[in-house]
Amino acid sequence: MPKGDREILKADIEDGYTPLANLILEALAMARISGVQKGICMFLFRRTYGWGIKEDSISLKEFAEAVDTSPSYVSKQLKQLIEWSIIIRTSYEPGKVPTYTFNTRVEQWYKGCINVQGLNEKTKQGLYKCARVPLSICTRVDNPQSLDTTDVEGCLNKYINKYIISTNVDGEQAHQNDDTKAKGEPTARAKARGPKYSDEDKAIACYLKDKLVANGVTVFPKDWLLKNYSTAHRLLNMASSGEIKDCIDWLFSDRYWHDKIDSLLVVERQLAKYQMQVKKARAGPNEASAGNVYDNLF
């Protein structure tokens, strides 16, 4: 029998739980975002990691119901989370429900909402260690295979068991890596590690830089290319290389955007609008629709 009680909202992990990296909890605790925005993140965790997946299609109405507010207000809060690179909208097509995922690369978040250096310092200081009992007791699960998650509403056995098994395998691999390091031998992970960003990622960033130079920009921050490689990597999950370059050209030809584009973040935010305009242009005036709720709210 489940130990929790839905009627009185008494929670217990035997009713299902969501595997979540400690760093995400630590970063969100420090993040300077609103309560509604944190609620949006929590709901996204429940809809993704809670079911063993990384992304899910979620409507504005569902977000609004989850955080108990209106769709128009949750739209503004969600838009800001996307602009700050905390949440990534992985797919967006007019008339369809967008797909979202949580950005686990905390260093890519907008620096105004997270003190990355402070987060690192707090970790080194041991702020997140359990004060009452040894950390190993706080975090270790003995005989995890014996956990019974059968017949639990809202909990998928195969995903939870897969997570438990993978955690054990990772732990054993970590011990093996430590032994290998002690012997001075490279680990399997170090051997397999390839370049962080692909040539296509770099080509997109360099394409924008060349356009900016052609328009008179001569000074760039030291980490400009590295940050834009990261954004290009995300963009290539949303569109082809040619479509991204066409969007860049479109922004430079636009009277409003031509002097406001300074990074691929602007391209990322305007890509959906560009794709929609291209689709309407191809459809012709007879088939162009008046838009949907997402066009109006975003």
Q: Could you give the CA distance from residue 276 to residue 258 in angstroms, rounded to a whole number?
A: 19
Structural domain spans, the chain: 17-124, 144-191, 199-297
Sign of CA dihedral 37, 39, 44, 49: positive
Q: Could you give the CA distance from residue 116 to residue 109 in angstroms, rounded to a whole number?
A: 9
Average pLDDT in the 117-141 region?
A: 75
Q: What is the pTM of this model?
A: 0.45
High-pLDDT (> 90) share of the chain, %: 46
Average pLDDT in the 151-155 region?
A: 45
Q: Could you give the CA distance from residue 253 to residue 12 in angstroms, rounded to a whole number?
A: 56
Residue 134 tokens read as 């040894």
Average pLDDT in the 101-108 region?
A: 94
**Residues 48, 54 contacting (CB under 8 angstroms):** yes
The per-residue pLDDT for range 275-286, each reduced to its tens digit, is: 888 888 887 665
The strand pairing partners of 10, in sequence order, are: 5
**Please, is 126 exposed, middle or buried when counting C-beta atoms within 10 Å of its C-beta (0-12, 13-18, 19+)?**
exposed
| Among candidate residues 18, 24, 22, 14, the one with its CA nearest the CA of residue 53 | 18
The strand pairing partners of 101, in sequence order, are: 55, 88
| Among candidate residues 232, 240, 239, 233, the one with its CA nearest the CA of residue 207 | 232
User: Could you give the residue ranges of the DSSP H alpha helices within the chain?
Assistant: 22-30, 35-47, 60-67, 71-83, 116-124, 135-139, 157-182, 188-192, 199-214, 224-235, 241-253, 264-283, 293-297
pLDDT of residue 182: 52
pLDDT of residue 260: 86
Nearest 5°: phi and psi at 55? -145, 160
Mutual angle of helices 71-83 and 264-283, in 10-degree steps: 120
Q: Please tell me the least confidently modeled range out of 131-140, 158-167, 239-248.
A: 158-167
Q: Is the pLDDT at 256 greater than 70, yes or no? A: yes
Average pLDDT, the chain: 80
3-class SS at 198?
A: coil
pLDDT of residue 91: 92
Residue 222 tokens read as 């030291």
The strand pairing partners of 57, in sequence order, are: 99
Query: Among 3.30.70.100, 1.10.10.10, 1.20.1250.20, 3.20.20.410, what is the CATH number of 17-124?
Result: 1.10.10.10
The strand pairing partners of 100, in sequence order, are: 56, 89
Q: How far is CA 275 from CA 11, 134, 149, 191, 200, in A?
A: 44, 54, 44, 40, 20
Q: Could you give the CA distance from residue 141 to residue 143 in angstroms, rounded to a whole number?
A: 6
The strand pairing partners of 103, in sequence order, are: none
